[in-house]
Amino acid sequence: MSGKVYNDADFSEMDRRRKDGASWEEVGNAFGISENAARCAVNRWHKEGSNVVRPQFEDWLEPEDVNWRELLSSATAKQDLWKRIDPRQETLTINLETDRPVAIPFSADLHIGGGWTDHQAVKNTLELILGTPGMYMTANGDIIEGFIPGEKAAETVEQQPMAMREMVAANQAIVTEFVEAKKLLWWMWGDHDAKWFEKMVGINFIKMLTDKQAPYFNAAATIKLKVGKEEYLLFVNHSLPGRSMYNKNHAQGRAYREQVPADVIVSGHTHKPAIQWEYKYERMRELGYNLGGKVTYVQCGTFKTGPDPYSTRFWSKGIVGLPTLIFWPDQHKTHAFDNPGDAATHLKGLGL
């Protein structure tokens, strides 16, 4: 209510106007108060009766009943704002205009800053990619170790040779250098560098530092990779559902069957590199569709080789491995290697 003191006559007049067909907004405007204040005042007047002496609260900051339409509109506006500052990249088209084959190492689980990470191997591998013409970088999650106090055992934090700010700085420096070299295709979420931060602080600040420089996937993504005249379909994620002790590429095969029949399906997380290929739906390609034929399943390795007790208590040590594929620009053809070094040698043998 406003600073004016209202009496029974005022409430009676408000009630009369309402009964005569005026809206609550019109009643409130006539008395210099809000729509909600007028409605509440008349309702209380009806409940309490006309002979009750009512206290007048001249400076009462009475909350209003907000219309549900206003609330939904506000939520929509906030969602639109979130989409602008935190885009969710789920599909991506990458165009490499070239007449020569290109090589793409699928890296994941570098665990930079970890107590059991082979940092020299990380350095050598990144230098190899930077120095090899026609070879491009991808990052498929868990690029830093990122143990957070309170999220994991204190020992995991204590054994890290790099402070969190150093890990973040290293991550950002790698992104910047590979972007400037025009060699970075995408960056992706992981448990260590995304999920735990979202859980503990509510945001993925690695994404916030990366997605203005390069495409960032915060979930599974489908990629149209154009190499020269050819187009390849890739499906990538840090981790895919499904495990098998007999088939290390079980998760990728399941993704092919249940999600995307892509040319290449990639995931990391399990720290054991593995590659398989087979032919699927080749008749579709014979009929002229850009679908079917050779499909390659890629499970990324790691640079966290141990002996990390939080791995070796239940599993064996991780294995260094960046499965690398060469894509041809003039025919629908891929060739797989278990490391980027051999792929670089092959590119040189092709005269690249």
Q: DSSP letters along 106-170, please?
A: EE----BT-TTB-HHHHHHHHHHHHHSTTB-EEE-S--B----BTTB-HHHHHT-SS-HHHHHHH
Q: Which residues 6+ apart lie within 8 Å of 303 measured at CB?
A: 109, 110, 111, 112, 117, 118, 119, 121, 122, 125, 318, 320
pLDDT tens, residue by residue, 196-235:
999 988 889 899 999 999 999 999 999 999 999 999 999 9
Residue 1 or residue 174, greater confidence:
174
Residue 189 or residue 288, greater confidence:
189
pLDDT of 3 above 60: no
High-pLDDT (> 90) share of the chain, %: 67
CB count in 10 Å sphere of residue 230: 18
Whether domain 85-349 has CATH 1.20.1070.10: no
Residue type, position 205, single letter:
F
For residue 49, name the pLDDT band (cuts at 50, 70, 90). Answer: low
High-pLDDT (> 70) share of the chain, %: 97
Q: What distance in Å separates the CA atoms of residue 5 and residue 300, rounded to the nearest whole number?
A: 75
pLDDT tens, residue by residue, 126-155:
999 999 999 999 999 999 999 888 777 788
Angle between helices 119-131 and 164-180 (to 10 degrees): 10
Average pLDDT over residues 282-293: 89
Cis status, amide bond into 215, omega within 30 of 0: no
The residue among 218, 164, 168 whose CA lies nearest residue 189 is 218
Domain boundaries, the chain: 8-65, 85-349
Could you tell me which residues are beta bridge partners of residue 346? Answer: none
pTM for the full predicted model: 0.82
- The DSSP letter of residue 225 is E
Q: Of 1-5, 229-233, 288-292, give the range with the top mean pLDDT.
A: 229-233
Look at residue 153 in the predicted model and tell me its pLDDT: 77
Look at residue 53 in the predicted model and tell me its pLDDT: 66
Angle at 241 between CA 235 and CA 247, to 5 degrees: 90
pLDDT tens, residue by residue, 37-47:
888 888 888 87
Instruction: Give the position of tokens 């290697």.
Output: 337
- Mean pLDDT lowest among 5-9, 43-47, 108-112, 281-285: 5-9
- Mean pLDDT lowest among 20-29, 220-229, 301-310, 315-324: 301-310
Find out whether 340 and 132 touch, Cβ atoms under 8 Å.
yes
Residue 343 or residue 314, greater confidence:
343
For residue 51, name the pLDDT band (cuts at 50, 70, 90). Answer: low
Look at residue 255 in the predicted model and tell me its pLDDT: 97
pLDDT tens, residue by residue, 225-276:
999 999 999 999 999 999 998 999 999 999 999 999 999 999 999 999 999 9
CB count in 10 Å sphere of residue 261: 17
Average pLDDT over residues 323-330: 97
Averaged pLDDT score across all residues of the chain: 91
For residue 314, name the pLDDT band (cuts at 50, 70, 90). Answer: confident
Find out whether 142 and 110 touch, Cβ atoms under 8 Å.
yes
- Token digits of residue 87: 């885009």
